Structure 1
Amino acid sequence: KESSMKIHAWCIMDNHFHLLYQTGQTNLAAFMRTKSAGYMELREMRC
């Protein structure tokens, strides 16, 4: 899904992640929910 969020950099850690981003008209809370859910799925696959 497209959004007006621009991710400039990211860092994936063992139990969390960091993002350097610029928002536009994107709902930040909804964006973070989808990214957090995807991160948790990836982390569970690695364990």
Structure 2
Amino acid sequence: MTYAADQLYEEVAYLAYHFHWPLDQLLDLEHAERLRFVAQVARLNGG
């Protein structure tokens, strides 16, 4: 299964914006872990 590049960029940009983590750290996250962080940030932002 391939993971859409646009979706990956969106997740990484979202987390980089909020956490200020370097790109290599964000790309090293497992997909499920990255999505969990995205969901948590969204909840913190009221979304």
TM class by shorter chain equals 0.3 to 0.5
Higher strand residue share: 1
Structure ID, larger Rg: 1
Q: TM-score, normalised by structure 1?
A: 0.38
Q: TM-score, normalised by structure 2?
A: 0.38
